[in-house]
Structure 1
Amino acid sequence: MPVRRATEFDAAAISALIETYTSSGTLLPRSVDFVTTYCHEFIVATDDEDRVIGCVHLDEYSPSIAELRSLAVAQSAQGLGLGRELVQATIDLATKREYTLLFAVSNDEAFFARFGFARMDIPELDRERSEVSRYKGVFAKELKAPAARRG
């Protein structure tokens, strides 16, 4: 299944996919307008007919830190490794953009540990999210430090 950067034409499908996980409290809703505005920050997995069956959002938290958000795979595509592909594509993009830390707020520590994420205390996040039950922990991965620029 191909993984690629999202376009504005994917916005409705991304929003609908994320919506399937909001009633359980797993993900926060993302409107079509939101996804359209930030589509350049989304990565999607598509089926053979280019329909969105997975997505993830790389959100800048600060100039050196990014958050992996809105990771979702359609129920019909579970077990195909798309979650792994989407996370790896997000790590690659975050590294390319020269972030030094990538974090995810999740209740699935084992999944993120496979990619080298470890539980980390980020006090600002703990305060912001302490009232929300779905957030069980913050898991972070240090990325390769950007090479010194020659100039």
Structure 2
Amino acid sequence: MTRSDAPPRFAVRRATTADAAAIVALIELNVPSGELLPRSADFVQLHADHFLVAEREGRVIGCVHLDEYAPSLAEVRSLAVVPEAQGLGAGAGLVDALERLARVRGYATVFAVSNSGEFFRRLGYEERHIPELDRERSSVSRYKGVHAKDLGPASHRR
């Protein structure tokens, strides 16, 4: 099979309520390590329009959640990729698609609270202090840093 005949590594699309079980399973893979907070199927179904999934050969291999934090500020949450698909670029593809969705929805800045600072720095994020977030999470945060990326002026479309 030539490179041009090879199936695409993955495709990113908006999640549907039918993806809830696969998304929950992906997130659950990362809960024991403390990297992600658990999400219920009900939560995912209720907020499906805020999730994106990476799919390969009909199987969901990754997910990410765009969560509004303030009118012009959104958070990258629940970013997960199955172990066997790591290294394909699905995580970066999901974040790129999330940024495009955030722009369409009018957010000026997206941020991630994560122990994966190097990953986000490679995607153009910078370590940043967000005063509201610093106050809210200062006593409970188990994460090393906040990384943010400016997308441009917010247009306040949702």
| TM-score when normalising by structure 2 | 0.88
| 1:36 aligned onto 2:48 | no
DSSP-derived class of the 2:32 partner: coil
C-alpha contact 2:66 2:74 (8 A) present in aligned 1: yes
Question: Which residue of structure 2 aligns with residue 81 of structure 1?
Answer: 89
Question: Which residue of structure 2 aligns with residue 98 of structure 1?
Answer: 106
Question: Which residue of structure 1 aligns with residue 54 of structure 2?
Answer: 45
Q: Give the residue type in structure 1 aligned to 2:25.
A: A
Question: Which residue of structure 2 aligns with residue 130 of structure 1?
Answer: 138
Runs of 4+ in 1 over 6 A off after TM superposition: none
1:108 is displaced (CA, Å) by 1.5
Q: Give the residue type in structure 2 aligned to 1:27.
A: L
Question: Which residue of structure 2 aligns with residue 21 of structure 1?
Answer: 30
Q: Alignment partner for residue 64 of structure 1, among 53, 59, 72?
A: 72
- RMSD between aligned alpha carbons? 1.3
C-alpha contact 1:129 1:135 (8 A) present in aligned 2: no
Q: Give the residue type in structure 1 aligned to 2:54.
A: A
Question: Which residue of structure 2 aligns with residue 6 of structure 1?
Answer: 15
| TM-score when normalising by structure 1 | 0.91
1:12 is displaced (CA, Å) by 0.8
Q: Distance in 1 between matches of 2:154 and 2:45?
A: 30
Q: Distance in 1 between matches of 2:131 and 2:53?
A: 31
Q: Distance in 2 between matches of 1:112 and 1:58?
A: 15
1:146 is displaced (CA, Å) by 4.7
Q: Distance in 2 between matches of 1:66 and 1:133?
A: 18
Aligned residues: 146
Deviation track 1:23-79 (CA, whole Å, cap 9, x = no partner) reads 01010001100000000000000121x221100000011111100100000011111
Gaps of 5+ in 1: none
Q: Distance in 2 between matches of 1:142 and 1:133?
A: 23
C-alpha contact 2:72 2:154 (8 A) present in aligned 1: no
Q: Give the residue type in structure 1 aligned to 2:142.
A: R
1:83 is displaced (CA, Å) by 0.5
Q: Give the residue type in structure 1 aligned to 2:19.
A: D
DSSP-derived class of the 2:111 partner: strand
Greater mean deviation of Cα atoms: 111-120 or 4-13: 111-120
Identity percentage of aligned residues: 60
